[in-house]
Structure 1
């Protein structure tokens, strides 16, 4: 029975992916920064009757000691690990000029450096067993920039560039990199992410417009995150998974348009989508 470690499982994609993979027969090590927030996951596990296949552990991907503790049992001479799903992620909304250095660095520490640190800790075991799958929950934000979302976009562009590069290094050892790139889905990242909207901001008209527009779009059109969990499950179960899998209609469109449409055209599409022409400066 294969074993997978998933980060960021207290809610959102991580929670539903834990349940989906356990239902498919995977042993799941469901990790989260604060195990005190495990109640929602516990309820979902109980409802799906997969409690015997899920173990909840503490793991903060920005803390080297936490990473070492959570992965101590996985090495060439210990319990084998077949896959890792890098799901933990954060965002901050706001115009770049209004953001602090701490805002930007926190997003990069979790979404980019956290992925690198945990992967580096697991690679010796994957190499020794000559197999392993590294799944990274990226985003359609890796395809094109989005207004008031620059740190998050940058983190996803960075992690995808890194993934493309190390794929060459890991292929001889039977280790596969898989990028899952969702569009807009109903997760709590929309509510939990800080929004920086200073009263004195030169960008306040744009930020207020985006706040209302995005919230309305998410409420009406954001999709069920189980779709993403199933895409992750399918990628892990596939004999030869694709390197990239876009999930959801907007992500699939941007995936197809990537490298084909000029950046100016992409910005015009986004401007119309967000109705930026209605902003009154």
Structure 2
């Protein structure tokens, strides 16, 4: 199989960095976006022929389009577009500032939407390709103290699922990746915490503080193994719509979905009671 070309956002750390390293070791070509090129200087030096860094803030929609257009124009074909850039924001809803709310939506949700929208015309023109949206099992399961992160992940999952149906006739596959907790900088470094209010101490809204403390036990997910499964998924046809990574993530997701289905089924008569009677 000929080496593929990947465009990945947010490659300075976490899954983006792990994906990039594994792909380059396999001989694939990667265009990786970062906000600070010093964090990937080693990759630039080690893989001068197969790795190219692009400076990009995904909250800048015009810049997203420019980077995507330039990458396709200069490389001719990009096989896989990975929307990975993002971060976690913790705190009860009323503890978050307006600026924090706007920024996480602009990064995790709007930035991902604009990346995918920018890539679609090129993927159609080349006759297909694959889009990988890095979400979280937090796109299906919600925890207190993480409302805005969940808002962005639930939002991008709805967007990606709809787009998957829109572009399937053009040979474009879309996969939503839902990792569980992993030992990455995302959890133990880049996660941001609101200005906490004492009124929420000792309530579920601040339970995340224990999770973010490595002394409380490390996350079970292995970023290297997770990245390898993401890479492997690109060869699967048809593209899996969702890819859950981590046994704890799958267990939690199934438990939530089962309860949700049971709750819906319990509303059968209520739902029907709001229809016009048959024949009217």
Q: TM-score range by the shorter chain?
A: 0.7 to 0.9
Deviation at 1:138, TM superposition (A): 0.6
* 2:27 match: secondary structure: coil
User: Counterpart in 1 of 2:221?
Assistant: 223
CA 1:33/1:123 → structure 2, altered by over 3 Å: closer, same or farther? Answer: same
- Give the stretch that moved more between structures: 77-86 or 25-34: 77-86
User: Counterpart in 2 of 1:4?
Assistant: 6
Deviation at 1:219, TM superposition (A): 3.8
CA 1:264/1:216 → structure 2, altered by over 3 Å: closer, same or farther? Answer: farther
Corresponding residue to 1:25 among 3, 11, 27: 27
Deviation at 1:50, TM superposition (A): 4.8
Deviation at 1:154, TM superposition (A): 1.0
User: Counterpart in 1 of 2:165?
Assistant: 168
Deviation at 1:76, TM superposition (A): 7.3
Deviation at 1:258, TM superposition (A): 4.5
Q: Confirm or deny: 8 A CA contact 1:75 1:124 kept in the other structure.
A: no
User: Counterpart in 2 of 1:274?
Assistant: none
* 1:72 match: secondary structure: helix
* 1:130 match: secondary structure: coil
Deviation at 1:214, TM superposition (A): 4.4
User: Counterpart in 1 of 2:139?
Assistant: 142
Q: Confirm or deny: 8 A CA contact 2:69 2:118 kept in the other structure.
A: no
* 1:52 match: secondary structure: coil
User: Counterpart in 1 of 2:38?
Assistant: 36
Residues 205-257 of structure 1 deviation map (CA, whole Å, 9 limit, x = unaligned): 33555312542577433322112211211111223331111001111213433
* 1:146 match: secondary structure: coil
Residues 46-92 of structure 1 deviation map (CA, whole Å, 9 limit, x = unaligned): 7xx65532111112111123213322334479611111111101121
TM-score for the superposition, normalised by structure 1: 0.83
CA 1:209/1:141 → structure 2, altered by over 3 Å: closer, same or farther? Answer: closer
Indicate the RMSD between aligned Cα atoms, in angstroms: 2.5
Structure possessing the higher radius of gyration over alpha carbons:
2
Measure the CA separation in 1 of the matches of 2:206 and 2:169: 50
Q: Confirm or deny: 8 A CA contact 1:98 1:201 kept in the other structure.
A: no
Deviation at 1:111, TM superposition (A): 0.8
* 1:237 match: secondary structure: coil
User: Counterpart in 2 of 1:239?
Assistant: 237
Measure the CA separation in 1 of the matches of 2:248 and 2:60: 34
Corresponding residue to 1:69 among 51, 63, 66: 66
Q: Which runs of 5+ in 2 are unaligned?
A: 264-280
- Give the stretch that moved more between structures: 254-263 or 131-140: 254-263
TM-score for the superposition, normalised by structure 2: 0.84
Measure the CA separation in 1 of the matches of 2:161 and 2:69: 27
Q: Confirm or deny: 8 A CA contact 1:7 1:85 kept in the other structure.
A: yes
Matched residue count: 259
Deviation at 1:17, TM superposition (A): 0.3
Residues 149-186 of structure 1 deviation map (CA, whole Å, 9 limit, x = unaligned): 11111111001111111111101111111111100001
Establish whether residue 179 from structure 1 lines up as the match of residue 180 from structure 2: no
User: Counterpart in 2 of 1:119?
Assistant: 116
Establish whether residue 96 from structure 1 lines up as the match of residue 93 from structure 2: yes
Measure the CA separation in 2 of the matches of 1:227 and 1:217: 23
- Give the stretch that moved more between structures: 77-86 or 136-145: 77-86
